[in-house]
Amino acid sequence: MIQDLNHRSIRYLRLSLTQACQMRCVYCRPDFHTNAHGHDGELTPAEINQLVRHLACRHGVRKVRLTGGDPTAHPQLVEIIRLIAGIRTPDNHRLELAMTTNGLALASHAAQFAAAGLQRVNISLDSLDIRTFHEVTGLDALPQVLAGIEAAVAAGLSPVKLNCVVLRGKNQHQLPEILEFAAARGLELRFIEMMPMGPLRDRWHSLYMPAAEIRRAIEPAVECMQPLVQGAGSARNFRVLTRSGKITTLGFITPMSCNFCANCDRLRITSDGNVYPCLMDEPRGRLLPALRPAFHAADVDDILVQAYARKKPEHPAWGHTIMTQLGG
């Protein structure tokens, strides 16, 4: 099992499949960033299979989340899901396989993803207002995302979680509506603090809202909120009873106002094989030379050990890359 110098063990792989994404969200993709995918520098399905199998069998990884860009933009996503779903741990358990997506492809493909072995999904939903949705994402696609949410539930993906990045001056007044929407459908919801990533850090202060302000913003929709026992994840979770009498699980992801670095168990690998022990740090290794032309387990291990030897106790003040490269 890989550990860093602070004795944090790695059990959770976040794998970015592509930098491509149909949306251009204000907190994620700078205007100049390309939307290309499929070049020779990206990991192939076979390489992904070998790498994940090695991490699960040798290093104790038990959870894999597919990210992007948007993973549904990858033309071989179904094959990748099927390959990872077929991996078993040494004690013959399946890996927990999840995906984070903008939701645009789910109306057409959620059932196919579930049949291939995907278990759970997080869907970005930053607004229920058509104009605000377009302003934040760059697309007039709210109906497609809502249809995708329904399709994910119908396909049996569970839990279906909604991710809402809170942006001061853009969607902060819509948070009670989003909470009621999630609760009415039995969906879990997470409000996420915006992070100062890459070139977007210069705009961060004008858009950032800490969790304390987010909690005040949702008060009109909350009848009662009780803390839940916290696991190893990044969200601080609550059981919420809304004014309309619905119950849901609400999480606050607070990387800036109250970080969760002490419990970090994550390894991030980008679509081109870069290793990020920390979301907001620089890449600390490159795996492609250890995967091509053949898989070299010892070289993979050396790269990962060296990368985690440089992981700091807490994340830096701002991120060195952008979300479409790393997937959050």
Would you kindly state where each structural domain of the chain is located, as residue ranges? 12-326
pTM attached to this predicted model: 0.95
Q: Please give the class, per CATH, of domain 12-326.
A: alpha beta
31 — pLDDT class (breaks 50, 70, 90): low
Angle between helices 142-154 and 130-137 (to 10 degrees): 90
For residue range 88-103, list pLDDT tens digits in order: 999 999 999 999 999 9
Q: Would you give the DSSP letter of residue 245? A: S
Tell me: pLDDT of 232 over 90.
Answer: no
40 — pLDDT class (breaks 50, 70, 90): low
Higher-confidence residue: 150 or 320? 150
Q: To the nearest whole number, what is the mean pLDDT of the chain?
A: 93
Indicate if the alpha-carbon torsion angle 139, 141, 146, 150 is positive or negative: negative
Tell me: pLDDT of 157 over 70.
Answer: yes
pLDDT in the model for residue 198: 73
For residue range 293-304, list pLDDT tens digits in order: 999 999 999 999
Angle between helices 142-154 and 106-116 (to 10 degrees): 30
As a whole-number percent, the residues of the chain with pLDDT over 70 amount to 96
pLDDT in the model for residue 135: 96
* Phi, psi dihedral angles at 55 (to 5 degrees): -65, -35
CA dihedral in degrees (245, 249, 253, 258; nearest 10)? 80
